[in-house]
Structure 1
Amino acid sequence: MFRSRRSLSVRQLWRQRCTTPSRGLGEGAPPHPEDLQNGLRPAAHQLFIKLKDEQLWQLVEAVESKGCWDCGCIWGPGDGRSGKSLQPHLLLCKLYRWPELRSAAELKTLVQCQNFWRKSGEGTSVCCNPYHYSRLSAPESDVSLSYKTREAPRPVVPFQETSCFNVRGIHDTTLSRGSHRDGHWCKLAYWEHRTRVGRLYNVTEPSIHIFHNLPKGSGFCLGFLGSDPRSQTVRRTRKKIGQGLVLSREQDEVWVYNRSEHPIFINSPTLAAVSARGQSVHKLLPGYSIKVFDAEQAASLSGYSAQEDGPCDPHSVRISFAKGWGACYSRQFITSCPCWLEILLSTPK
């Protein structure tokens, strides 16, 4: 019974190899046959032998749900190597998500993984759940995609809300600058075109999941926010939000991980190159993460002002789901996008 159950789980894992149609350079690119035959399959077989039966079923659940259900950490061999010099987590990320992945330096550990909270050199095993990692994306001005090992998180500093949104003279007074002592580090506002839908959502935890629909999901569910009537464009775009994104505060930085099956588009003062003119909108592909805010860099942008429309301070980040805007798109302003999110970051008191 034990052997047949184990064999069944391994067969399920082979059926779930990364064979979905390519979406550009994002998650789901077709596998390279030579890699599967000459490298990945033998290495994966050796790794499966080392995993316990319970761990194999955890891995089956993770890959079959494509990360919809968080199945926890799956601890692999502690030597950091498997098969042909592939680290366990790199091997499974190549097998199930990104066949073109070249090194572990292209990966970022996500905040829900216990590895993220470990200090450098702590522990010998490594989590090899492929959905506890994302690909690293960077602005064009960045030279390297390497992600430095982080120390234990610093204590949360009390914050004060900044604001706000101003669209060609249309000002939402509910987002005005104010002082709060409730411990939140940001507030979230969901918009459909020029209309804000629902109330502001205070974020106090280190990370928040923002999604439309997700089994066993917890966080900011956009699917619960009502707006009547909705245009056909908005309804179609809302369906594309899916698993949405994860917003996390990591020391003095804010990161975004795209969990959906469609690109998201991001505008942030600290994401664009300092010399950039006008607004810069970054396209983030499915499965990728990017640093959208850097507190140290923001401190030097006190004179920042957005052109035409949008937030007027260096502590506001805007994200559009599935639809881009700016000079490269038919939509010139984010207020023309069907579904978008405004992140109102707080500043130290």
Structure 2
Amino acid sequence: MFRSKRSGLVKRLWKLRILQNEEWGADESPEELELKSVAQSMLKRLKERQLDVLIQIIEQRGGEATECVLLPKGDLRLGRRSVAPHILCCRLWRWPSLSNNSELKQLSCCSTVNDLAYVCCNPYHWSLLMKPDLPIPKGGWTPSERVKLTEHVDRPPDNGIVSTETGMTPTSRREILTDTSLSGKGPHWCSIAYWELRQRVGRLLTVFEPSINIFQLLPRGDGMCLQILQDDCTSETIRRTRDKIGFGIVLSREKDEVWAYNLSQFPVFVNSPTLDIPNSRMLCVYKVMPGYSLKIFDYEHAHVMKEIRDPKYFDGPYDPSCIRISFAKGWGPNYSRQFITSCPCWIEVLLNIDR
């Protein structure tokens, strides 16, 4: 009975793989048969409860917070090659073309980030790593800029929370500091404002926990549910964009960095002070595809950026601690929308730096 139940769970997992292959339009091939043999051998090493958890994970497609699925570290043989267990699981149920050379980032919610003995095989505890190259300004860096880019520079205090598109965000400092929508100890690390076109929707949310989910629909999800804030809308564009937000994004504060992970089925678009070109009027907006993580703010880099920034390049209100993220629709020089206030659904992430 025990063996037949385990065998049934393994077969169910492989059936999910077959269904996803049909979605991806993949054909049965000798490599697929080889992959099946290695995968079934790996799955037999999992306990029955772990198999149940893995089935739940694959069926939900990362829609809920899920447990780790642990296996001892060590590569598996795949023909003449070898593959790590977590790479194999990600390839089976998320990214069929994934290779050992692909760069993955473990999500902060995973409990095995620093585990030396085990690796997490939950494919939704991993993301593809996006590494945007920071363009070199026309004419190159000046000697003083080059020095400051390689040194740690102390920064003078900034005051006020300013929106780069709409001026001062219409929420008082008192409200920001007393809104305890997410419980936690110590000062908050950011506040989040949700916008539809030029209209702020709902109150500013203050974030104390290291990470937060921002989503439209997420079964039993914790975080910022945009659907609760939204009201009836006559704009068809806004309604369609709301539907595309889905599982949304995860924002996480990790040491001296802020990361965004795209959980939705559509791209999100990001503009951040530490991803922009210093002293350039060219707006850098990065497209983050589903399943990808992007470092959207670097505190150390922000110190340097503050020192080399020249006010003569400012065309309007500017906040060096404000990140803007648009759902499904891009803006800027490469898009028909020139300003984020033309995007149907977007957020401001207002970092608590010397505010």
TM-score where L is the length of structure 2: 0.82
Pairwise CA RMSD? 2.9
Counterpart among 90, 114, 118 of residue 125 in structure 1: 118
Deviation at 1:227, TM superposition (A): 3.4
2:101 is the alignment partner of 1:95: no
For the pair 1:164 / 2:162, whether they are aligned, the reply is: yes
1:263-321: CA deviation from partner (whole Å, max 9, x where unpaired): 00000121234476421110000000000000011112223778666x61221100000
Q: 1:140 and 1:54, CA in 2 relative to 1: closer, same or farther beyond 3 A?
A: same
TM-score by length of 1: 0.83
* AA partner of residue 205 (structure 1): E
CA contact (8 A) 2:279 2:310 kept: no
DSSP-derived class of the 1:50 partner: coil
Q: Which has the higher helix share?
A: 2
Q: Which amino acid aligns with 2:258?
A: V
Q: 2:38 aligns with which of 12, 32, 43?
A: 43
SS of equivalent to 2:222: coil
Match of 2:332 among 311, 317, 326: 326
What secondary structure is seen at the aligned counterpart in 1 of 2:293? strand
Residue number among 341, 345, 350 corresponding to 1:339 in the alignment = 345
- 1:285 partner letter: M
Q: CA deviation at 1:233?
A: 0.9
TM-fit CA distance, 1:37: 2.2
Could you tell me which residue of structure 1 aligns to residue 74 of structure 2?
Answer: 80
Q: Which runs of 5+ in 1 are unaligned?
A: 23-27, 143-158
Select the residue among 54, 60, 64 that pairs with 2:59: 64
Letter of the structure 2 residue corresponding to residue 346 of structure 1 = N
Mean CA deviation greater in 12-21 or 208-217: 12-21
Cα distance in 2 for residues equivalent to 1:326 and 1:18: 40
The 2-side partners of 1:14 and 1:248 are apart by 33
1:14 partner letter = W
- Structure 1 CA distance for aligned equivalents of residues 331 and 57 of structure 2: 34
Counterpart secondary structure, 1:292: strand
Q: Report sequence identity in percent.
A: 45
Distance 2:28 2:133 in 1: 31
- Equivalent pair of 1:161/1:344 in contact (CA under 8 Å): no
Q: Which amino acid aligns with 1:265?
A: F
Give the equivalent residue in structure 1 for 2:241: 237
Q: C-alpha offsets along residues 137-175 of structure 1, whole Å, 9 cap, x if unaligned?
A: 111349xxxxxxxxxxxxxxxx9985211536x544426
CA distance in 2, matches of 1:80, 1:285: 30
Helix, strand or coil at the partner of 1:190: strand
**Residue 71 of structure 1, CA deviation:** 2.7
In structure 1, C-alpha distance between the alignment counterparts of 2:21 and 2:319, rounded to whole Å = 40
Structure 1 range deviating more: 219-228 or 52-61: 219-228
2:325 aligned partner, one-letter code: I
Structure of larger gyration radius: 2
1:173-221 deviation line (CA, Å, top 9, x unaligned): 4267999596100000000000000000000000001101111100111
Q: Does 2:207 align with 1:210?
A: no
Aligned to 2:17: 17
| 3-state secondary structure, aligned to 2:238 | helix
Corresponding residue for 1:137?
130
The residue type equivalent to 2:15 in the other structure is: R
Count of aligned positions: 321
Offset of residue 232 of structure 1: 1.3
Contact 2:188 2:208 in 1 (8 A): yes
- 1:250–1:172 CA distance, 2 compared to 1 (3 A): closer
Q: Deviations over 1:220-244 (max 9, x none)?
A: 1101003344411111101110100
Give the residue type in structure 2 aligned to 1:62: I
> Do 1:46 and 1:83's aligned partners in 2 also have CA atoms closer than 8 Å?
no
Return the alpha-carbon distance in structure 2 between the equivalents of residues 304 and 56 of structure 1.
57
C-alpha distance 59-304 of structure 1, shift in aligned 2 (>3 A): farther
Q: Are residues 1:252 and 2:252 paired? A: no
Alignment map for 1:251-290 (pairs within 5 Å): 251-274=255-278, 277-290=281-294
Q: Give the aligned residue type for 1:163.
A: I
The farther-off stretch of 94-103 and 338-347 is 94-103
Residue pair 2:198, 2:341 contacting (<8 A) in 1 also: yes
Residues 204, 235 of structure 1: CA spacing in aligned structure 2 closer, same or farther, 3 A cutoff?
same
